[in-house]
């Protein structure tokens, strides 16, 4: 292995971006390097990284005035405002990072050898490192297919107005702001040491072929898949541990591969009518289910349904659980789970497939539509058509049940379920890919 280096990692202040960068830091330190994760000071104070107990990872507080993770207040204007605040703080505090003055644990480390930058933070952070002669590893917490779209963006690429973000189901037709972002980012990517993408070849077999076919401009840099990068089971936080114990205890009482897990992520929100259709379908399926549904969303359900949810929660033999927060990785790896109904955020997609669980893909906005296509193309799930967070189309109870039956095939043995078999095969491939990715950092 090469001599130990100090890598600084810079994610966009959103859970879906902090999570894979934090796990990447774990991979980096596991082979003997140093890692520092630079995160908004207010988010560190709020405990966004408190579940990480790895003593080899340091946290640096960025004084960017960001007081909420993007997940709590998402809008296009909010995304770009957050990017600008983050960029300004990073540029101003980069000298402090060299000695880690400002790190939460105050431990001195070696000077910065390289910075791993989330591509969603924008081109300014890349340019600042380049000016100072600091090598940059670009990191994409996204699919290979979306990476191709970023790299092939041109001034002539079609784009829709920004206010179409939550309505546009076509990941290849980006909003105007992201088009501008991609064009500026491309110039910095060409000067980066490499572009690392959080996916793996078995899941996106056409990636390298498409890269050569559509992105010849980038043939001179190392663009590679290094996923799946995911945060393992949370440790060290009492609240999380208690909830995890409660959920796992309930899962242990269920029959093998009998259960449906539902989560639309930390941002996705369904309309009142859609929530009722999902609830009705799950109950009518007569299968146990666990639904991770934030409290404000639960409040939109009719009073009768909320009363039953509360009653079930108090039973030792509950037929189902509806919880405001769920330990997703613990659930997905449990042998009681047969199907995952997901919004197909990229982290959730990787977690589901890495645990061998078929996915009913219900994308809400942005890259989730393309992620759902990846799931369906891989043979590990089925994508619902013409859905979005704007709620213009209500997916009715019968359609939900039909799609669930298509995936679960409750009356058939699992050995005859092509979706389950394919998902299990994908889980094995994910484990192999994770080992190969670790080897990459040994040689850096």
Question: DSSP characters for 369-414?
Answer: HHHHHHHHHHTSEEEPSS--TT-SS---HHHHHHHHHHHH-TTS-G
Is residue 127 one of the residues assigned to a domain?
Answer: yes
Are residues 352 and 437 both part of a single domain? no
Q: Please, what is the average pLDDT of the chain? A: 89
The number of distinct structural domains making up the chain is 2
Question: Is the distance from CB of 108 to CB of 99 less than 8 angstroms?
Answer: yes
Q: What is the C-alpha separation between 118 and 97, in angstroms, rounded? A: 17
Is residue 101 one of the residues assigned to a domain?
Answer: yes
Question: At 104, is the pLDDT very low, low, confident or very high (cuts 50, 70, 90)?
Answer: low
Residues of the domain holding 37: 6-232+432-442
Is residue 1 one of the residues assigned to a domain?
Answer: no
pLDDT digits (tens, 9 = 90+) for 234-284: 443 334 567 788 899 999 999 999 999 999 988 878 999 999 999 999 999
Closest by CA position to 354, among listed 259, 267, 243, 231: 231
End-to-end CA distance of the chain: 8
Query: Is residue 291 predicted with pLDDT exceeding 90?
Result: yes
pLDDT digits (tens, 9 = 90+) for 393-409: 899 999 999 999 999 99
Are residues 253 and 179 both part of a single domain? no
Element (H, E) at 175: strand 174-175
Residues 6+ apart with CB under 8 A from 147: 140, 195, 197, 199, 207, 223
Q: What is the C-alpha separation between 384 and 403, in angstroms, rounded? A: 8
The CATH number covering residue 256 comes to 3.40.50.2000
Are residues 218 and 245 both part of a single domain? no
Tokens of 164: 């179409």
Closest by CA position to 117, among listed 20, 34, 204, 199: 20
Is residue 392 one of the residues assigned to a domain?
Answer: yes
Are residues 418 and 438 both part of a single domain? no
Q: Which of 15-29, 67-81, 190-204 has the highest mean pLDDT?
A: 190-204
pLDDT digits (tens, 9 = 90+) for 341-382: 999 999 999 999 999 999 999 998 888 999 999 999 999 999
Average pLDDT over residues 17-39: 93
């Amino acid at each position: 292995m090469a001599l130990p280096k100090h890598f600084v990692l810079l994610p966009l202040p959103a859970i879906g971006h902090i999570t894979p960068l934090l796990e990447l830091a774990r991979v980096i330190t596991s082979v003997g390097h140093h890692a520092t994760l630079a995160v908004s000071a207010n988010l560190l104070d709020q405990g966004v990284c408190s579940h990480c107990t790895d003593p080899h990872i340091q946290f640096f507080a960025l004084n960017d005035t960001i007081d909420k993770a993007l997940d709590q207040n998402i809008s296009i204007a909010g995304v770009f405002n957050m990017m600008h605040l983050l960029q300004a703080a990073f540029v101003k505090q980069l000298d402090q990072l060299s000695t880690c003055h400002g790190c939460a644990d105050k431990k001195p480390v070696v000077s910065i050898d390289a910075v791993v930058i989330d591509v969603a933070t924008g081109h300014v952070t890349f340019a600042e490192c380049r000016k100072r002669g600091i090598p940059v590893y670009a990191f994409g917490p996204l699919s290979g297919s979306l990476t191709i779209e970023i790299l092939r963006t041109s001034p002539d690429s079609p784009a829709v107005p920004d206010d179409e973000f939550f309505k546009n189901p076509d990941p290849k037709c980006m909003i105007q702001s992201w088009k501008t972002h991609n064009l500026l980012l491309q110039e910095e990517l060409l000067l980066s040491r490499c572009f690392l993408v959080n996916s793996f070849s078995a899941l996106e077999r056409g990636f390298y072929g498409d890269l050569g076919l559509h992105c010849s401009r980038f043939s001179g840099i190392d663009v590679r898949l290094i996923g799946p990068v995911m945060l393992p089971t949370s440790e060290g936080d009492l609240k999380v541990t208690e909830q995890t114990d409660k959920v796992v205890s309930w899962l242990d009482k269920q029959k093998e591969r009998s259960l449906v897990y539902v989560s639309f992520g930390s941002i996705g929100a369904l309309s009142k009518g859609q929530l009722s259709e999902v609830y009705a379908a799950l109950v009518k399926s007569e299968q146990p289910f666990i639904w991770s549904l934030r409290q404000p969303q639960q409040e939109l359900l009719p009073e009768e349904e909320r009363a039953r949810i509360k009653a079930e929660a108090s039973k030792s033999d509950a037929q189902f659980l509806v919880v405001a927060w769920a330990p997703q990785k613990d659930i997905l790896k449990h042998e009681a789970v047969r199907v995952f109904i997901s919004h197909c955020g990229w982290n959730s997609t990787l977690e589901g497939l890495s645990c061998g669980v078929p996915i009913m893909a219900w994308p809400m906005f942005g890259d989730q539509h393309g992620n759902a296509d990846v799931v369906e193309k891989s043979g590990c799930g089925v994508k619902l058509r013409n859905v979005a967070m704007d709620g213009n189309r209500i997916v009715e109870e019968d359609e939900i049940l039909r799609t669930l039956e298509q995936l679960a095939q409750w009356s058939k043995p699992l050995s005859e379920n092509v979706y389950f078999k394919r998902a299990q095969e994908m889980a094995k491939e994910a484990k192999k890919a994770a080992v190969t990715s670790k080897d990459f950092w040994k040689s850096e």
